[in-house]
């Protein structure tokens, strides 16, 4: 990788959005999401250009004649925005990416709408078209020297499209979500196109060895065998690697020391009138297993009445951009269960479950929640990595992490209490175990977890990714 010449980073999600405020002024907002929160500090340090879709009201008001704006300020990097039509958003983004590839990758084959071939094909055609738009924007930015780093499932065809124009381009691709087995992925009518697209990269990264293994097996089953696959490609071989994403550990620990956040954490506790707090933080998505988590908490309260009035569950659910129907039905389901639990157990000013749906404009606003929580409960049914579990480990002083074995983070964070989120009874028992865990055991587990999260932090991940890419 030619690091000296900077990076062209490509993702569907943009790191910053612009909106009008009440005074009719344009305001910059940093956006949520695992990908953007991980990559933004890296690009601020390395410099370069980030190509992404501009989706907010004032996004195009702030651009120069080359469709770029510097973010977060003059000392930052260039953000080049792509405009997608309503139809492209519907078919490429909500359609093929989020209604076909997302569920398929999370092994929810039945949710992937593949039974209607014609409809899927229409979405696929848009997917190809929009990938072409991204590739064209990259080609306009490319001077022949930069490393091109493409992210995630929306853009699998871009590496091949760039490679066709520049056979020697240095291209890396990182896949942020799980990679499923062939019995699931093989169902995709365009499986070969997706695989060939990704295999046109020089370096291809996944979060865990298991996803990498499944990917290689899919490539083999599709007749594209690892390095040899590129013999029919214009590029050279592809190195496939597992490089688990980390967080900016020091940033979280330094914020955890701030008095203002400690005070806010105390306010949260006081507001809930609860002695102990369990926390969940997840985008509104069916893969996060929020209903299972709520049912587990309900069962825990039922089976352990001594904890009623003592323990509350705070569930933060920042919105995600899925189709309106999907969003609504997931939200309704969650709200119904929250209502049931609060109706059944709530008393004397104590609220068993408090759910917040507002997206917090600054990520650091999550710190008081992490500090207030005695237990963090992660019940993803399937999750590429799950950064919030690592953020909690970095921030908390004496908390316990309960972690789904189906989150990529579980392969690293072995000292968490690991659960099968579908086994609600087991999760309920784990909540009790976490709340009654002796201090010494808590400390021991947390120290080991902190060590891992610190050692494999964001900078280390970046270096390991770059090393793998450079070694090509």
Site residues (CB under 6 A) for ligand GDG? 32-35, 37-38, 176-177, 245, 281, 283, 316, 318, 359-360, 362-363, 366, 383-388, 391
Q: Of 171 and 284, which CB lies nearer to ligand GDG in the complex structure?
A: 284
141 Cβ neighbours under 8 A, 6+ residues apart:
8, 49, 51, 80
Q: Could you give the angle at the alpha carbon of 331 between the alpha carbons of 328 and 334, nearest 5°? A: 150
Q: Of 35 and 272, which CB lies nearer to ligand GDG in the complex structure?
A: 35
In whole angstroms, the minimum distance from the beta carbon of 141 to ligand GDG comes to 23
Q: Of 308 and 323, which CB lies nearer to ligand GDG in the complex structure?
A: 323
In whole angstroms, the minimum distance from the beta carbon of 85 to ligand GDG comes to 25
Strand partners, 402: 377, 417
Q: Of 345 and 392, which CB lies nearer to ligand GDG in the complex structure?
A: 392
Q: Of 37 and 312, which CB lies nearer to ligand GDG in the complex structure?
A: 37
Task: State the DSSP string of 359-391.
Answer: PPSSGGGGHHHHHH-SEEEE--SSBS--HHHHH
In whole angstroms, the minimum distance from the beta carbon of 379 to ligand GDG comes to 12
In whole angstroms, the minimum distance from the beta carbon of 145 to ligand GDG comes to 27
In whole angstroms, the minimum distance from the beta carbon of 412 to ligand GDG comes to 12
Each as own residue / partner, the long-range contacts of residues 255-264 (CB below 8 Å, 24 or more positions apart, any chain) are: 255/364, 255/367, 255/395, 256/367, 256/370, 256/371, 256/394, 256/395, 256/396, 256/397, 258/367, 261/364, 261/367, 261/368, 261/371, 262/368, 262/371, 264/367, 264/368, 264/371
In whole angstroms, the minimum distance from the beta carbon of 362 to ligand GDG comes to 6
Q: Of 233 and 248, which CB lies nearer to ligand GDG in the complex structure?
A: 248
Task: Tell me how far apart the alpha carbons of residues 251 and 82 are, in angstroms, rounded to a whole number.
Answer: 31
């Amino acid at each position: 990788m030619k690091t000296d010449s900077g990076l062209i980073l490509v993702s569907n999600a943009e790191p910053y959005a612009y909106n009008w405020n009440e005074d009719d002024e344009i305001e910059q907002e940093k956006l949520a999401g695992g990908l953007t929160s991980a990559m933004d500090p890296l690009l601020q340090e390395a410099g370069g250009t980030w190509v992404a879709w501009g989706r907010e009201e004032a996004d195009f008001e702030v651009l120069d004649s080359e469709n770029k704006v510097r973010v977060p300020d003059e000392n930052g990097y260039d953000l080049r925005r792509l405009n997608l039509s309503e139809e492209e958003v519907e078919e490429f983004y909500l359609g093929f990416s989020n209604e076909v590839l997302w569920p398929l990758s999370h092994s929810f084959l039945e949710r992937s709408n593949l039974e209607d071939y014609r409809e899927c094909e229409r979405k696929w055609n848009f997917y190809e078209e929009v990938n072409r738009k991204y590739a064209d924007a990259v080609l306009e930015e490319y001077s022949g020297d930069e490393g091109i780093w493409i992210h995630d499932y929306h853009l699998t065809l871009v590496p091949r499209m760039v490679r066709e124009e520049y056979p020697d381009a240095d291209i890396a691709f990182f896949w942020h979500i799980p990679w499923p087995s062939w019995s699931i992925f093989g169902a995709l009518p365009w499986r070969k196109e997706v695989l060939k697209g990704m295999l046109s990269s020089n370096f291809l990264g996944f979060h865990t060895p298991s996803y990498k293994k499944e990917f290689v097996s899919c490539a083999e089953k599709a007749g594209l065998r690892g390095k040899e696959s590129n013999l029919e490609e214009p590029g050279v071989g592809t190195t496939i690697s597992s490089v688990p994403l980390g967080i900016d550990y020091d940033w979280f620990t330094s914020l955890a020391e701030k008095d203002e956040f400690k005070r806010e954490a105390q306010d949260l506790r006081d507001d809930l009138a609860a002695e102990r707090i369990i926390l969940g933080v997840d985008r509104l998505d069916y893969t996060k297993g929020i209903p299972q988590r709520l049912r587990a908490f309900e069962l825990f309260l039922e089976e352990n009445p001594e904890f009623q009035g003592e323990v509350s569950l705070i569930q933060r659910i920042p919105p995600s951009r899925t189709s309106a129907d999907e969003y609504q039905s997931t939200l309704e389901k969650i709200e119904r269960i929250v209502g049931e639990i609060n109706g059944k157990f709530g008393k004397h000013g104590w609220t068993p479950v408090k759910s917040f749906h507002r997206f917090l404009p600054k990520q650091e606003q999550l710190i008081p929640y992490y500090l207030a929580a005695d237990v963090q409960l992660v019940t993803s049914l399937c999750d590429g990595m799950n950064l919030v579990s690592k953020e909690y480990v970095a921030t908390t002083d004496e908390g316990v992490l309960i972690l789904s074995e189906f989150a990529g983070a579980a392969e690293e964070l072995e000292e968490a209490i690991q659960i099968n989120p579908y086994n609600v009874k087991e999760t309920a028992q784990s909540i009790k175990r976490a709340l009654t865990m002796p201090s010494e055991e808590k400390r021991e587990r947390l120290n080991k977890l902190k060590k891992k999260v610190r050692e494999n932090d964001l900078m280390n991940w970046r270096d390991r990714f770059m090393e793998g890419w450079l070694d090509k």
